[in-house]
C-alpha cells in the first residue's frame, strides 16, 4: 500500500484527512467535500483524491457514495490508520538509512583497498628509494599475545609498524583498529620501515 522510501502525495492527503477526522474537524456521519473540491484544496488532480479516499475506504474510515459524496465512518479507525501509517513509514525510513549506511561502508572499504593497492604499487616500483614496505606476517603458535588486542599490547609503540589489514579465515579485515585481537593463523598486513619485519617477529614471539 505504501512506498518504501518517499511518501506519495495521495498517501499524504489520506493521512491529512484521517488526522482531521481524529481531531474531529470532521465527525462521524459528516460528509466530506466532493473530489473536485478536495482536488482544489490540495492542488492535485481528482485522480489523486480518488486514490487517497480509496486508501481510507479500504480500512473503513470513510465510505464514498456515487453522487452523494464521502461519508465519515469511524474516528477510531482513522486513529488506527494514522498509527499504522507511522509504523510503516518508520520501517521504510530505517530501510533507507540502512541501505545508505551499507553503501557508505562499501565505498569506504573500496577506498581503503584502493589506498592499500596504491601503497603496494608505489613501494614495488620504488623499493630502492623508499624505506616503507608492506609486510605480511603470520601469527603462529609462538605468538605471546594470542587473544590480546592490538592496542592492549601497544603494538605500534613496540615495533614501529602499523597494522592496516588482517587476513583471517579467508576474510580480509581492513583497518582492524586497536580493539582487534591476535588469533592463531592470522596474517597481519603491516606498514613500516624495512627493520619493522624483524621487530614485529621478535615482539610477537618473545618469551
- Residue 2: pLDDT over 50: no
- Record: fold of 132-204: Alpha-Beta Plaits (3.30.70)
**pLDDT given at position 129:** 44
Residues of the chain with CATH 3.30.70.1450: 132-204
pLDDT at 122: 64
Domain with CATH 1.10.10.10 in the chain: 9-96
List, for residues 126-140, the tens digit of each pLDDT value.
555 444 556 899 999
Residue with more model confidence, 7 or 75: 75
Burial of 204 per CB tally in 10 Å (0-12, 13-18, 19+):
buried
Q: Are 191 and 164 in contact (CB under 8 A)?
A: yes
Distance of CA 147 to the CA centre of its chain: 30
9-96: which CATH topology?
A: Arc Repressor Mutant, subunit A (1.10.10)
Amino acid at each position: 500500500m505504501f512506498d518504501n522510501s518517499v511518501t506519495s502525495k495521495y498517501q499524504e492527503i489520506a493521512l491529512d484527512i484521517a488526522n482531521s477526522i481524529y481531531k474531529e474537524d470532521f465527525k462521524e456521519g459528516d460528509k466530506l467535500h466532493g473530489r473536485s473540491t478536495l482536488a482544489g484544496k490540495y492542488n492535485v488532480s481528482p485522480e489523486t483524491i480518488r486514490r487517497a479516499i480509496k486508501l481510507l475506504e479500504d480500512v473503513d474510515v470513510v465510505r464514498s457514495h456515487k453522487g452523494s459524496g464521502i461519508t465519515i465512518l469511524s474516528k477510531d479507525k482513522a486513529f488506527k490508520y494514522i498509527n499504522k501509517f507511522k509504523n510503516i513509514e518508520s520501517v521504510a525510513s530505517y530501510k533507507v538509512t540502512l541501505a545508505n549506511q551499507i553503501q557508505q561502508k562499501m565505498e569506504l572499504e573500496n577506498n581503503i583497498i584502493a589506498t592499500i593497492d596504491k601503497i603496494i604499487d608505489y613501494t614495488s616500483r620504488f623499493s630502492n628509494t623508499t624505506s616503507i614496505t608492506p609486510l605480511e606476517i603470520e601469527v603462529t603458535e609462538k605468538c605471546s599475545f594470542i587473544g590480546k588486542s592490538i592496542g592492549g599490547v601497544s603494538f605500534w609503540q613496540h615495533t614501529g609498524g602499523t597494522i592496516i589489514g588482517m587476513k583471517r579465515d579467508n576474510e580480509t579485515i581492513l583497518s582492524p583498529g586497536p580493539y582487534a585481537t591476535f588469533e592463531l593463523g592470522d596474517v597481519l598486513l603491516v606498514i613500516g620501515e624495512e627493520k619493522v619485519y624483524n621487530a614485529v617477529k621478535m615482539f610477537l614471539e618473545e618469551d
